[in-house]
Amino acid sequence: MHDHHDMHNEGVPDYHQPPSGTLTEPPAHGAAYPQHAGHAEHGIQGDDDHTVHTHGQHAGHSTAMFKNRFWLTLALAVPVVYFSPMMGHLLGYMPPEFTGSAWIPPVLGTVIFFYGGQPFLKGGLQELKDRTPGMMLLIAMAITVAFAASWVTSLGIGGFDLDFWWELALLVAIMLLGHWIEMRALGSAQGALDALAALLPDEAERITDNGTETVPVSELSPGDLVLVRPGARMPADGSVVEGQAEFDESMITGESKTVARGAGDTVVAGTVATDSSVRVRVTAVGDQTALAGIQRLVEEAQASSSRAQALADRAAAFLFYFAAGAGVLTFIAWTLLGSVPDAVTRTVTVLVIACPHALGLAIPLVIAISTEQAARAGVLIKNRMALERMRTIDVVLFDKTGTLTTGEPELKDVAVADGADADAVLALAAAVESDSEHPVARAIVRAARARNLALPEATGFASLTGRGVRASVDGRTVHVGGPALLRELGVVEPDSLAASTRTWMDRGAAVLHVVDGGTVLGAVSMEDAVRPESRQAVSALQRRGIKVAMVTGDAHQVAQAVAADLDIDEVFAEVLPADKDKKVAELQSRGLKVAMVGDGVNDSPALARAEVGIAIGAGTDVAVESAGVVLAGNDPRAVLSMLDLSRASYRKMWQNLVWATGYNVLSVPLAAGVLAFAGVVLSPAAGAVLMSASTVVVALNAQLLRRLKLNPSEAR
């Protein structure tokens, strides 16, 4: 790898030196993040706090747990339902009778209640303590009432006919199925901090008077001298005291270009020395490093994200109050009519059928199908709340580099001095660069080959650190580099070139000169390539009434050039990595709901802070883990797929919820006996039939989502 450091005119960011505004020298001991100094470590509340519900009912519950409980509960439920006299009467068969057969439903039903119902009983108790009734409490109420009433019937107490063992078994099995479907469909974003921690090496080479020793990173202290070899990650923040190397700082800056670091320069934990060894004096370790500052930002942003209840929870809360109120009124009304047995029967029936099977499947089925459809379109939905929130988004904030652009330099223009040929100058530059693996060199060679130019043979390639490159072509010494190279060679840019290079600089392009001996033959401009798909994505979002903003650490002129090209509504330029999070908060302070699209570690806090965090899949593991949505490819148009899917799935959720809750709103009063005077009473058996029909309708309606076509390349 060679060095194009300072390869273009002063004041313009190049492909090795971070543009003004990027994090190049974070102060030691966490000073780069003063707003977080002294903060106690938060117990991070990742996305799976509300993967299914938002009150922590699933703390400690895994997908495998729901899966295992469902299959065992289902196996136990089959004989319970089969030996139920009510189900036999309903379906027109006589359950076989033998010694002890009558006790099969009570015994197996009790196992189902305590084993299969345990997550709901615990969750319901927690909701009761938190005074936030939701799905868990609604389920817990129904299965507890069914359990108690069924045992009263089985033991022959009071002469009641309230055999709900079959209803208890089916309800627990279906609810476990719903929760399993939902948790399987969604990933957990709890790995953000683990992914950040993985950027640090486990060991470091500490330099002592007796040579070097390998020690755990935890044993390093400020003031220690460490050796960082080529390809190794920095174990701590520090200052280079000896050597020079190209550092990959993409995990901090989000920029793909490497940066030259030499004696006196600050380096950051987690960054990689790509080409040579350096000796570094440690200035900050552990919690005081810049990486730890980003970790704290991720924690705080995730902890501050909205805890708004999901749709099913709101519906369940309504039904809980509705059922509880209806149950109380039912008992009072029938007791006043002088029929206590009827009061008990009607009240129990109301409380049992108040928990609709359909509601337990309404949202999970939509989520599962939506997730499957999204995956086929290259969109991985990790957090169900992200799917629900996307439809409400007012502005999409894109990180520039690697998201709207490729993050790789691209040759834009070639200008030549009087008498020179543009193709010949480009071929000469490509010949000199052909032995280099640097992104700039590859871009120049790629451009020459795209024009089918014949490259002369170059020998004696050499990299001139901080200035450019040199090679011999046909016995002539040819240099390619920036302003520092011109100064070193003592040559001046011809006036005929100045007009072109000045225009390039004004839009933030990097400028490289081609020098043959002592003569400047021409110059080329290098710019971060804008993805062709970005224009379509921006215009399609704007047609949907959504504003598009861009955030970048690049200088203003670079950002404005890209924004003008893409017709972006608002630009945040020269933004420090720690401040991307603040830009999301700034937009939110205006009352806007924000979707953030990014790919770097420095984007992680902003991804977590936004209502919807969308990570480009080609980005770092940390960005992916901090986001609620991951785009498997680099196509920003996939954001449109997410938006369309969110709107369509939300409609399905509402349709299913209206159907599921509507059934209850109608059936509960009938079960309570409000039309008993007219001879219309909803029996438990009839309630079961209607409940099953409601579940089938909800399932079929969710399947209609499969007709939605999500193809980013066809987005309009």
Q: Which residues are catalytic?
A: 399
The terminus-to-terminus CA distance of the chain in angstroms comes to 42
Task: Give the span between the Cα atoms of 48 and 424, in whole angstroms.
Answer: 59
Tell me which residue of 262, 242, 212, 221 sits closest to 3, measured CA to CA. 262
**Is residue 56 helix, strand or coil?**
coil
252/449 Cα distance (integer angstroms): 34
| Cβ atoms of 580 and 606 closer than 8 Å | yes
Q: Quick one: tokens of 409?
A: 């330099």
Q: Where are the alpha helices (DSSP H) in 532-614?
A: 532-543, 556-566, 577-589, 604-609
Token pair of 550 as six digits? 């861009």
CA angle, corner 108, sides to 106 and 113, nearest 5? 90
Q: Cα(254)–Cα(559) distance, rounded to whole angstroms?
A: 15
Helical segments of 264-410, H only: 290-303, 311-336, 340-353, 357-376, 384-389
Cα–Cα distance, 253 to 601 (Å, whole number): 8
Angle at 91 between CA 88 and CA 95, to 5 degrees: 25
- Residues 261 and 267: their CA atoms lie apart, in Å, by 8
The answer to whether the beta carbons of residues 425 and 418 sit under 8 Å apart is: no
Beta-carbon count within 10 A of 434 CB: 18
Question: Can you give the length of the chain in residues?
Answer: 716
The percent of the chain in helix, strand and coil, each rounded to the nearest 5, is 50, 15, 30
CB-based contact 397:596 (threshold 8 Å) = yes
